Amino acid sequence: MKLRKLNYILHRDLGYLFFGMCLIYAISGIALNHVRDFNPNYVIKKFDVTLSEKISRNDITKEWVVSLLEDLDMKKEYKKHYFPSDATLKVFLNHGNVEINLETGKGVMETIRKRPLLNQFNFLHYNPGVAWKWFSDLFCVAFIIIAFSGLFIIRSGKNSIKGWKGAGYTIVGIIIPLILFLMYI
């Protein structure tokens, strides 16, 4: 088999085989790059809570807390509650929490749920286990082969690695990460 044909076959077949991995790493990579802009793993919502009547710490029971959660449509979410201070009630939920100032009757409910797909992609991006680590390593090796074999897909002309366009884009694609690397070290 000719080297050119082998190059083309490797590039094509590895590209097909690792298409899903490319998407997972690309999508989760974008999300993780913007972790300061939004939480890529969870959707966190906050709601203001106001008690209808004043209550003292001594009058609060589990039943009262559950009835409060029922008013907030969160009855099934109750885990436990405690008092971090005499004036504060904190209720832990399966997917969030509620914190209320007993003196003012005002508080905040925070709900947390996993961001669909992005949470799972990010989990995989963090290499969750040995099998995934080896599959991920195999993907990285294949990606190196895909990158190099891609340079030689086009035989000749301005778009080939020997032409001004192919070589130019390749050089720019190497220089930009180097400049950014030097800026950050």
pLDDT tens sequence across 9-27: 999 999 999 999 999 999 9
Percent of the chain clearing pLDDT 90 (strictly above): 74
Whether 71 has a pLDDT exceeding 90, the answer reads no
CA distance 20 to 135: 12
* pLDDT surpassing 80 at residue 1: no
pLDDT digits (tens, 9 = 90+) for 100-128: 999 999 999 999 999 999 999 999 988 88
Residues in contact with 166: Cβ distance below 8 Å, sequence separation at least 6, in sequence order: 151, 154, 158, 159, 160
| Residue 94 pLDDT grade (very low, low, confident, very high; cuts 50, 70, 90) | very high
Q: What is the pTM of this model?
A: 0.73
pLDDT for the residue 113: 95
CA 148/CA 137 separation, integer angstroms: 17
Average pLDDT, the chain: 92
